[in-house]
Amino acid sequence: MADTKINPVEELGTAAAKLRHTAAEAHGGPWARCDVGVAVISADVQLYGAPCIADRLYEPDADWITLAHPGLAEPLAAWLDDHASDHSTYDCGWDDSECPALSLAREINGGGRG
């Protein structure tokens, strides 16, 4: 049976690339929550005369979307890339099943629209 386990360095690099690509495609922001209709707005969007990118949201969802704006992508991607270096030199002190960076990478690689 072939070993289908993904290399941790590849997993981390794939997640970093996905973060960068997805953020590059999104509106750059900065994003903020607007209480009118519980909307998330971006400074670089002017749909129908307003900078709204999503509206009629559940308040905690709007807070989460605003928190996870595209500006978060590069610092996270850089951290994942840096941690990939630790895995390539066997310097990560975590078991692969418990490594926080790998857990994050797996969530990113398994989530979204691919």
- Beta carbon of residue 91, minimum distance to Zn ion (angstroms, whole number): 9
Amino acid at 12: L
If phi > 0 it is left, if psi is from -120 to 50 it is alpha, else beta; for residue 102 that is alpha
16 part of the interface to Zn ion, by CB under 5 A: no
- Beta carbon of residue 70, minimum distance to Zn ion (angstroms, whole number): 25
List helix spans (H) across the chain: 8-25, 59-67, 73-88, 100-110
Q: Which 49-108 residues touch Zn ion, going by CB under 5 A?
A: 92, 94, 99, 101
Size of the site for Zn ion (CB under 5 A): 4
- Beta carbon of residue 114, minimum distance to Zn ion (angstroms, whole number): 24
Asked if residues 55 and 61 have their Cβ atoms less than 8 Å apart, the reply is: no
Residues near Zn ion (CB under 5 A) are 92, 94, 99, 101
